[in-house]
Amino acid sequence: MKRVGAITIGQTPRDDIARELEKVLGPGVRIVLAGALDGLSRAEIDALAPEVGDADALITHLRDGGNVLVAKRRIVPRLQACLDRLADEVDAFAILCAGVFPPFSSARPVLLPERCLAAMVDAVFDGRRLGVIVPIKEQQASSAERWSRVDPGVVVTVASPYEELGHLVAAAEELRRGGVSLVVMECQGFTAAMKTVVRDVTGAPALLPTTVLARFLAELT
C-alpha cells in the first residue's frame, strides 16, 4: 500500500481533510497525518503568532476546535521537521495549506496546494474573470497580486471556513456580482459542501485545494 504524508500547519487529527483526500485517492493509499503544532502548549503556539497586519499570516485549526493565526516564517521550520520525521515512512508528501511556501528539502515529492491550484487555473481558466476566496483579510492583497498574472482584474474576497456559513455566502455573492467565471477557494479548511455553496451562489466552477491536491497525488501513488 502506498503512503502519503499529509502535513498540516496546525494540529492533528484533521479527519475532515483526510476524508476528502481518501475519496479521490481510494483504498490503495494510506494517509499519514502530522501537524506542525502537535505537542505544543498553548503558550508555545501563541509564540508563533504573526505581527499585527503581517502579510505572511496563516490561519489553522487546533485539536480543541479553536483557530489560531501563525506566522509562515515561524511555521516553515516545523513543517520541515515533520517531513524529516516521516522521510522513511511515506512515498510522497502533501502540505495541507494553500499558502505560498519556499521549497522544502525532501527525497520524496512534496506537493503544495498553491502550486497545484495555479497549474489547474492555467489549464482551465477561460480568460474572463477570476474569483478568489481567502480566509483572512491579511492575505487579500498578496493573493490579488499573485493571481493578477492570470487575470489583472481578479476579484479577491474574504471568508474563513471556520466561521458561520453566512460569511462564505456573502463572499460568494460578491464574486457573483463581479461576474467571475472560475473561483479558487484558497484555504485547506474549505470542504466539498462549502464548494457546493460557492458554486451554487456564483454559478461558476470552484476549485477546492484538497481535492485538487488529491488528484495530483493520485498521479504519484
pLDDT at 55: 74
Mean pLDDT lowest among 28-37, 59-68, 148-157: 59-68
Average pLDDT value for residue range 154-168:
96
Report how far apart, in Å, the C-alpha atoms of 162 and of each of 71, 78, 104 are: 18, 23, 28
Split at pLDDT 50, 70, 90, the class of 199 is very high
pLDDT at 12: 95
Burial label, 123 (beta-carbon count in 10 A; 0-12, 13-18, 19+): exposed
pLDDT tens across 43-63, in order? 999 999 998 777 789 999 899
Q: What is the pTM of this model?
A: 0.92
pLDDT tens across 104-133, in order? 999 999 999 999 999 999 999 999 999 999
Q: Where are the alpha helices (DSSP H) in the chain?
A: 15-25, 42-46, 72-85, 113-124, 140-147, 165-177, 192-202, 209-218
Using alpha carbons only, what angle is made at residue 200 by residues 186 and 17, rounded to the nearest 5 degrees? 40
Split at pLDDT 50, 70, 90, the class of 185 is very high
- Specify the DSSP class assigned to residue 178: T
Residue 174 has pLDDT above 80, yes or no: yes
Query: Dihedral sign, CA of 15, 17, 23, 27?
Result: negative
pLDDT at 36: 97
pLDDT at 220: 85
pLDDT at 5: 97
